[in-house]
Amino acid sequence: MTEQTLARARTGDEDAFRELTDPYRRELQLHIYRIVGGAQDAEDLLQETLLAAWRGLERFEERASVRTWLYRIATNRSLDALRARRRSDDPRMMQMPEPSRWNEPIWLEPYPDVLLEGIPDEAPGPEARYETREAIGLAFIVGLQHLPPQQRAVLVLRDVLGYRAAEAAAMLETSEASVNSLLRRARAAFESRLPASRRERAPLPNSKREREIVGRFADAVEAGDVDGMVALLTDDAWLTMPPLPQAYQGPGAIGPFLRANEERRGTPLRLVPTRANTQPAFGGYLPVPETGTARAHGLFILTLEGSEVSAITWFADTSVFPQFGLPRVLR
């Protein structure tokens, strides 16, 4: 950033404003997603953040960098959105087999890998405890959504982005003591939910090994071969469906659930590969008899461990398909 660019932006030069803010758009959107859990909400809140920054340029005192100033606006917009959110904690549920456990319902959407392009991999601050790839993984995002909003924001600012306590306190307009207290509570609650790191044992993204495992699972899905899907699961694999609270663990519970779904649909899904939260994913399409088409039915993400699948996360909301470049109808 140059003083000249900032001065031009303050005179109403939109090109200068874009020059100041464009380098941070992708990372700001990801930051908002971590806090609110919704990819579409993150896109909307990014626009609100940039509009607020444009309108507030005159109040930018340059005590911090433009990047930190934008993160401050984005964080507070995200917290405001969470306070205003009114989502049902008892989503409408179809008949399902008895689950292994009932989870607390959380609002969550998958995040397209294409939106991660251009975001630096290195930790942006000296206090960061998590690498970028780990901090976008589905288990990490799920863990965040179980924290109260203030704790969630503090953990992301401190342990993901690496801001110091004083910087986080300034962003949230609170004291360092308050930030440190929130962080201690957030870490304790978060780490108790975060599963032991298995991603180190997962195949490298887009590697031959990953393609083989994912390809075998996809072939089984498209053949309606429930036994083939179950054979690829770890003994303690989980199947979850945010925001539904039912969770199924292990082949003995997941198998009957998948078989009941196959029987209810009457025809196997067609799949289109994609990637979400740095993990392999598929858009699922339900064939419509006698039309030669299949309509969008849901998106699922696979978590891999070694040569097996340790988690399947299903999202029934097909409104996210356009963000992944997935069509609503396959012909």
* pLDDT value at 200 more than 70: no
Spell out the SS3 assignment of 65-78.
CHHHHHHHHHHHHH
Rounded to an integer, the average pLDDT of 20-47 is 96
Q: Outline where DSSP puts E strands in the chain.
A: 101-102, 233-241, 244-249, 270-276, 279-288, 293-305, 308-315, 329-330
Phi-psi region of 246 (alpha: psi -120 to 50; beta: other; left: phi over 0): beta
* pLDDT value at 257 more than 60: yes
* pLDDT value at 284 more than 50: yes
Q: Give the pLDDT confidence score for residue 190 in this predicted structure.
A: 94
Contact 101, 247 (CB under 8 A): yes
Domains delineated in the chain: 1-83 (1.10.1740.10), 199-330 (3.10.450.50)
* pLDDT value at 87 more than 70: no
- Choice between 186 and 200, residue whose per-residue pLDDT is larger: 186
> With b meaning 16 or more CB within 10 Å and e meaning fewer, what string describes 195-223?
eeebbeebbeeeeeebeebbebbbebbee
Report d(CA 168, CA 226) in Å as an integer.
Answer: 48
Rounded to an integer, the average pLDDT of 262-267 is 93
Report d(CA 130, CA 237) in Å as an integer.
Answer: 24
Rounded to an integer, the average pLDDT of 94-101 is 80
Q: What distances in angstroms separate CA 22 from CA 18, 59, 60, 152, 153, one per listed residue?
A: 5, 20, 17, 26, 23
- 3-class secondary structure, 249: strand
Q: Give me the helices (H) in 156-273, please.
A: 165-172, 176-193, 208-222, 226-231, 251-265
Least confident of 6-10, 55-59, 196-200, 230-234: 196-200
Report d(CA 176, CA 183) in Å as an integer.
Answer: 10
* pLDDT value at 58 more than 80: yes
* pLDDT value at 324 more than 60: yes
